[in-house]
Amino acid sequence: MEAFLGPRPTHRLGDWRQLWERDLTFPVRSHRGLAGRFLVAFKRLLRPLVHLPQNDLWERQRVFNLILLGHVQDLDQRSREWRREWRREWRHGQERLEGRIDELDRRTRHLENFMHQGLEEVMRHDDALFGRVDRKLDRYRREADELTGLLRSALARDGSGAPEELRTLVAETSYLAFENRFRGAEAEIRQRLQVYLPRLRGKAPVLDLGCGRGEALALLRDEGIACRGIDSSAAMVRRCSQQGLQVEQGGLPEALAGVAPGSLGGIVSFHVIEHLPPEAVDRLVRLAYAALRPGGLLLLETPNPLSIAVTAGSFWLDPTHVRPVHPEMLRSCYESAGFAGIEQLYLRPYPEEERLPDIPLDGLDGQSRELADRLNRLRDELDDLLYGCRDYALIGTRPG
């Protein structure tokens, strides 16, 4: 009975079932002192009198408790069985999952090995294929060069009977190859033209005369400046059109004569006027003045004839050059046409290692230092004459 009477009664269902089956009587609690003993005796005396009238209710309660305990014990037993079954299923599922993971790991390693081996095989195959393609391209390139040479030789022997389109195509193809070799890479040309962007912003639309491979048009388009180009070469026009540039074919300065007066904000031309005779250059400047709106800008870039290294060397690499354009002559054309605010830029200086060396003045004094200083000043004048900037640009604004 102590298990049922303590401060924390037992939780074992079997003990409670034994209590109700045996119908055990709870002892009367004792009290201290003489009055306590009297009270205990009185409770024992009254217990039969109280218990007898409630015997039927007590029996019903006892039966109900036994039935309820039976159900609780049955549920507890089922719960234990369910937990044991769940543990078995969980362990079985864990074992199956671990098996699947191991199988997946084995398949993954197999697939990785297969892909690695396959990739190596594909790379070896691609290397061999690209090698064959390169050899074929080299062979086709040599055959094309040979055929082009034979075609040019045939045109040189008797070009009068050949179609005009064929002669033009051969000439344009030759000049495009020349541009790619001597003009420089397109990325390099675009880098050089960056210097003009601050002056061309806000000058849209811009017209590029003799746009060539389209470096200036692509640069302006990427900067969000509306632009279009004109070139006399069909090959150049096709190349620009393939880049999505707005280009039309036409001669200079004839194409400029068809532009609506005051419709342009900027006209640019890079390394074109040296291909024209002097009267064509003067006409181009006057037509540009008419085509520009007030505040419009004309920008012409050409090789610098004030550098002997240019006029005696690189200028004549291009057989289509007519004559160098002196900056003072070009300035007079600008002024005669009405342009104002004329600005001249010298571009692409020769590297220092290619220029004449200075005489060091350190350690010299007196007459020797004065003589060396005079020689250095003479060297500067001679160096500017020999190795001045390779290009210059003249920029004029139509007043408004």
How much is the pLDDT for 107? 84
Q: How far is CA 254 from CA 6, 232, 239, 248, in A?
A: 120, 10, 22, 13
Q: What value, to the nearest 5°, has the Cα angle with vertex 263 and ends 259 and 266?
A: 95
**What is the rounded distance in angstroms from the CA atom of residue 237 to the CA atom of residue 240?**
5
Q: What is the DSSP letter of 28?
A: P
Dihedral (Cα; 272, 332, 324, 238), 10-degree rounding? 0
How much is the pLDDT for 396? 97
Omega before 360 cis (within 30°)?
Answer: no
How much is the pLDDT for 166? 52
Average pLDDT, whole number, for the chain?
A: 81
Q: What are phi and psi of 231, to 5 degrees?
A: -150, 145
Residue 237 pLDDT > 80 = yes
**Average pLDDT, stretch 58-62?**
72
**What is the rounded distance in angstroms from the CA atom of residue 62 to the CA atom of residue 64?**
5
Domain boundaries, the chain: 184-360+377-397
Question: pLDDT grade, residue 178 (50/70/90)?
Answer: low
Residue 187 pLDDT > 70 = yes
184-360+377-397 CATH fold: Rossmann fold (3.40.50)
Question: Which region, left, alpha or beta, applies to residue 9 given φ > 0 means left and ψ of -120 to 50 means alpha?
Answer: beta
